[in-house]
Structure 1
Amino acid sequence: MSGSRRDTVHHISRTRSVGISYEDCEQGGGRAMGVIDQFFITLFVAYGIVAGGSIAGGFGALFTERPAFLAMSILADQLKIWGLVGALGGSFDSYMQIEKIFVGNFSPVARQLIMIFAAFLGATAGSISIQWLVQVRS
């Protein structure tokens, strides 16, 4: 009996990883993920990277006895590019889609440009939120 249970657990662990995969998001709700769904996911991932990284960096500054709000303000500006990279998947696939303009296929290009805009918007909103939260005067 324990041998069959071990086989079952092994089978489950091989077929299902921990966490939510991108495929789970596409299948959620019984419909495919559209451009608007991807837009909001990309926007909030970029926002979360900038805002969350800045807040975590502020705690690090507290532990090292540095001015936390100043560190958060500086980190918010520095993490914008990483918010973009993280939200777009960390690869150049988004930028390689632009190459398809020369072939004449505009649909994937437009979709990727929308995702790049969403990442820019999320990263900028995260930075503005942190700047507003800490209100450091230069």
Structure 2
Amino acid sequence: MILSIQAGLVLPSMLLRKLSSHNRKNRLYQAFRELGRVERTLFLLRYISDPQVRRSIRAETTKIESFNDFLDWITFGGPVIKSGDPVEQEKQVKYASLVANAIMLSNVADLTDVINSMAEDGLRVTPELAASLRRSY
């Protein structure tokens, strides 16, 4: 199929149309489904066998969960979206993210000022010291 697209015999839009039809008898659909299964199996084998991959995924998942917990905390009442209107829901989520990012930026600026002040006072600022400044809300 790729060679047909490169040769100009098949348009990419036709390929997308075939894939979006969800026709389970379509050979292209079946081929991509099997390819997806192979990729998922390879990923799971890598995940099971490599502790570094597990640590990396866990660290990223923890960051996302922490950010979501922070969003819940700043919205004063948890993850409740009161409106049924999708536009209002999207606004509420974006506003909460904007406030969260503003708070984080303010914290970074404040911590930068404190660390710079410590350095000016002759105190040794190490990466370990900077890492210890992390606190939970």
Give the TM-score, by structure 2 length. 0.28
Query: Is the radius of gyration larger for structure 1 or structure 2?
Result: 2
Q: Which structure has the higher relative contact order (CA within 8 Å, separation 6+)?
A: 1
Give the TM-score, by structure 1 length. 0.28
